[in-house]
Structure 1
Amino acid sequence: MDKEYRLYIYAFLSRTMADSADKRYVSDLRNNRDFLELLGESTVAYFDEKSDEVILDELNEDFSSMFVINTQAVESFVLDAKNETLVGLQNPVMNFYYKHGFELNMDQTELMAPDHLSIEFAFMQTLIFRNEPQAQADFLKEHLFNWVVPYMMGMKSMALTPFYSDICDFIVEFLVADYEYCTTLEKSRDE
C-alpha cells in the first residue's frame, strides 16, 4: 500500500461514516467504477441497476438505521455499556490525539463525540500525512482494532443495501491489511 492510496481510503471512510450520503457523494461513487469494484461486486451491481435518486434514498435510510437510530459509531459507546461519551483527556482517544498533536475543534463538526469513527479515520489520515508509522500502528492496535472490527462485523447484518454491507466488510479487511502494513513498516525501520 502506498501513502496516497491510504490517505484516499481513510478520507473516503471518514466521509462515509460522518454523515448520510448526498447527491455529490453518490455521483462521485458512480463515476469511480474502479473504487466501486474495490468495495465489492454487489456494490457495482447496485449502482448499475439503480438510479442516483433511488440510491440516495436507500443509502440515507440505511445509514440512519445503522449508525444513528440503532447505534452510533462511537468507540466509548461500543466499549462501555453506559453509552456515555467521556470528555477531555478522560477519553483515551482524546488523550492519544493530544499526545500526537492532533487538535480537534468539536465546534466545527456536527459529530458530538471525539471518538466517533469518522474522526478516528481522519486522525489516521493525519498520521499518514505526517509519516508517523509507529503512531499509526499504535492507534490501530489500541483503538480501531478494539472496537471497529467487531462493530462492523455486527453492523453488516443490519445493512439493507449492498453498499453498506460491502462497506462493513471493506473496513474490516482494510484495517487488517493496514495494520499488517504498519507493523511491517515498523519492523523494517528497526532493522
Structure 2
Amino acid sequence: MQQTQARVNIYALMSRILLQELDAKTLKMIKEDENILDFFPTLKEWKQLNEIDNTKLLEEYFNPDFVNLSILHLIPYESFYVREDQMVETGGANPVTDMYSAYNFMVDYEASRTVSSDHIGVEFEFMHHLCQAELKAMEDEDLESVKEIREVQREFLNKHLINWAPLYLINMKFEARTPLYYDAAEMALEFLLSDNEYLSQESK
C-alpha cells in the first residue's frame, strides 16, 4: 500500500508540473518539502532557488521555460508523435478517450488549458486517477480489483505513454533552460520506465 501511495503522489506531482505553469502555491510546496526536493537534485543545488523571490522565479525563470517547452518549441501531445501526419487529434477520435471514458475520467479542457486529451500532463493525471482507484481497492481489501486496475495501468502505459513520452521528455531535458524542468524531464522519464517494469513484474 505504501508503494501505491508513493506512485499516487509521483503521478500527481508530475502531472501538475507537466500540465501547466507553476503557481506560487506549487512552487512553495516544492521548495519547502525536502522529500519533493530530493526528486530535483539539480534544482536543489541551484543557488538562485533561495536567492530570488518566488514571484520573480515564476515570472522570469520557470514559467517562460514552461511556455518554451510546452507551447513554442515542443509539442506535448501523443497524437503528434504517433500519427504519420504529425497532427494533434483534438476530436473524439483520439484513442485515449475510450480508456478515459471506460474508467470515469473526465478531461477539464478549460482548467487544464489543453487542446487535446492526449497531452502528457493529462495522461499522467489519468495514471494518477488509476493509482488512486488501486489504493481504494487495497483499502477495501478487494484483491481482484487491485489486480484488474494494475493491468489497466500496464495497458495504458504500454499502449500510450511508453510509446511516445520518452521522446518528448528527452527533448524536454535537452531544451530546458531551468533546473526545474531539466530535473522534471529526467524524473518523469525514469519513473515511467521503472513503473512500467514494476507493473510488468506484478502481473506475472
Matches for 1:12-51 after TM superposition, within 5 Å: 12-40=13-41, 42-46=42-46, 47-51=49-53
2:19–2:112 contact (8 Å) kept in structure 1: no
SS in 2 for 1:21: coil
Deviation at 1:110, TM superposition (A): 2.2
Question: Which residues of 2 match residues 82-101 of structure 1 at below 5 A?
Answer: 82-88=86-92, 90-101=93-104
**8 Å Cα contact 2:39-2:183 kept in structure 1:** no
Task: Report the Cα distance in structure 2 between the residues aligned to 1:23 and 1:106, rounded to whole angstroms.
Answer: 22
Number of aligned positions between the proteins? 185
Q: Superposed, which structure 2 residues align to 1:69-148 within 5 Å?
A: 69-80=72-83, 81-88=85-92, 90-106=93-109, 109-131=112-134, 132-148=149-165
Question: 1:155 offset after TM fit, Å?
Answer: 1.6
Give the percent of matched residue pairs that are identical in Structure 1 and Structure 2.
28
Gap runs ≥5 in structure 1 = none
* Residue 75 of structure 1: how far off its partner (Å): 0.8
Q: Displaced runs of 4+ in structure 1, greater than 4 A?
A: none
Most deviating of 99-108 and 76-85: 99-108
Query: Secondary structure of the equivalent of 1:78?
Result: helix
Deviation of 1:73 (Å): 1.1
**Aligned partners of 2:185 and 2:108: how far apart in 1?**
28
Cα distance, 1:33 vs structure 2: 2.1
Q: Show structure 2 runs of 5+ residues with no match.
A: 135-148
Deviations 1:141-182 (A, max 9, x none): 110001111110112111010111111110110001111111
CA RMSD of aligned residues (A): 1.8
TM-score normalised by L of structure 1: 0.88
Residue identity in the other structure for 1:45 = E
Task: Report SS of the residue matched to 2:181.
Answer: helix
Q: Secondary structure at the match of 2:118?
A: coil
Secondary structure at 1:38 match in 2? coil
Per the normalisation by structure 2, the TM-score is: 0.83
| Cα deviations by residue, 1:10-42 (Å, 9 ceiling, x for unpaired) | 1111111121112112111111122111222x1
Match of 1:179 in 2: 196
Q: Which moved more, 1:77-86 or 1:163-172?
A: 77-86
1:39 and 1:125 mapped to 2: Cα distance? 20
Letter in 1 for 2:72: I
Who is 2:146 aligned against? none
Would you say the 8 A contact 1:33–1:44 is kept in 2?
no
